[in-house]
Amino acid sequence: MKQIKILSLFLIVIISGCSQVNKAADFITNPTAKEKYKRDFKVSDELFSIWENSVEIAFQDSVSVNLPYAETGKFFPRNFSVYSYEIELQPGEVFNVEVETDSIRQLVFIELFQKTSDSINLFEKVKSSDFQNKNLSFEADKKATYKLVIQPEIEAYTAFTFKMEKNPAYLFPVASGVNASVQSYWGDNRDGGARSHEGIDMFAKRGTPVVAATNGSIGYTGEKGLGGKQVWLRDRKRNQSLYYAHLDSIANVSGNVKRGDTLGFVGNTGNARTTPPHLHFGIYKSYRGAINPLHFVYQTNVLETEPEKLDSIPHKLIVQNSKANLRNKPTISNSKILSTSESQDTLQFLGKTNEWFHVRNPENKASFIHQNLVTPIAP
């Protein structure tokens, strides 16, 4: 097999010419974005080693953010800055991060790690951005803590904006529905506690259209059992089936359908005859049974305004108060104090989000400090 790959590479080089050697090699060896960076930009072994090892600092940081989140700042050459953030994701949530820079030629590397129960290898990489791309999208398939690591190239010298959001993987299955439409949740007692609710109920007026939450194929339409008039939609991408129950009527659908297509209309058939009209929505994973569908459809907040652009970028910050708390989140509520700085202590500037500076203290630990506690110092 190895000989075949080598021969294939040789033939590609002959046909395409020397300028295509790297592309031909990449086709076979599939190097990482960082390996391409070292090769294509001729980074010295010494510099690359310092730059690559600086990522280890990120795994020692414990700052976390709530989504959506935005931060602005500036990359400085040979500063070896690494930005890391812990975020919480649920199954069915899609995490998106984008890095905007003043210079489109600057390289930025984005990696996402999942926290494990392994005491030695605390984090496992689950996704990384493609070479020369400044964005990453990841759909969580389990509830976990994730660590996002953003690292600019060694010689990067440009202002930046980080934007992070999470969105549901599916379209809300009731037309014009909102989160408040959900009034009965996964795990609620049913039949006096004899069974638990394997889905969520979305209340709406009788006859409100029920739509395909994703592209898929119709597995079953008809009327039977507790669900009354129902539609089953197969999502092959995620290897699971979507269950729409208690419909007033079923649309004329079969075969493949697209996200947003009407499947039926809200009602209260089956064992829901004594309740107001609503859609029972469930998800059944192949070989695992029912799973909580809430975060697949729950609509999340988005960045409504552009992050503040800094008039001037400080290189460091000087603590002005006699005592200043450095926190793990850019907020006083629901945050932990990681350390305390004293008057005239110097902090390294990383970025700014609203009224909070993202900094590193003299021990090289990342944290957040409120802008009223420090004085910015220009480079």
Lowest mean pLDDT among 1-15, 73-87, 178-192: 1-15
Q: Which residues are CB-contacts of 195 (< 8 A; sequence separation ≥ 6)?
A: 189
**Is it the case that residue 8 has pLDDT exceeding 60?**
no
CA torsion through residues 256, 262, 203, 300, sign: positive
DSSP 212: -
% residues pLDDT > 70 (the chain): 92
Quick one: average pLDDT of 293-318? 87
Structure token pair of residue 338: 């990681």
Which pLDDT tens digit goes with each residue over 169-227? 999 999 999 999 999 898 777 866 677 888 999 999 999 999 999 999 999 999 999 99
Which pLDDT tens digit goes with each residue over 271-301? 999 999 999 999 999 888 999 999 999 999 8
The whole-number pLDDT of residue 38 equals 82
Q: Do 177 and 168 meet the contact criterion of CB atoms below 8 Å apart?
A: no
Local confidence band at 21 (pLDDT 50, 70, 90 cut-offs): low
DSSP assignment of 243-274 equals EEEEEEEE-S--SEE-TT-EEEEEB--GGGTT
List of domains in the chain: 57-168 (2.60.120.510), 179-297 (2.70.70.10), 316-377 (2.30.30.40)
How far apart, in whole angstroms, are the C-alpha atoms of residue 373 and residue 379?
19
Q: Do 150 and 79 meet the contact criterion of CB atoms below 8 Å apart?
A: no
| Residue 214 φ then ψ, to 5° | -160, 170
DSSP 174: B
Which pLDDT tens digit goes with each residue over 225-267? 999 999 999 999 999 999 999 999 999 999 999 999 999 999 9
**Is it the case that residue 12 has pLDDT exceeding 90?**
no
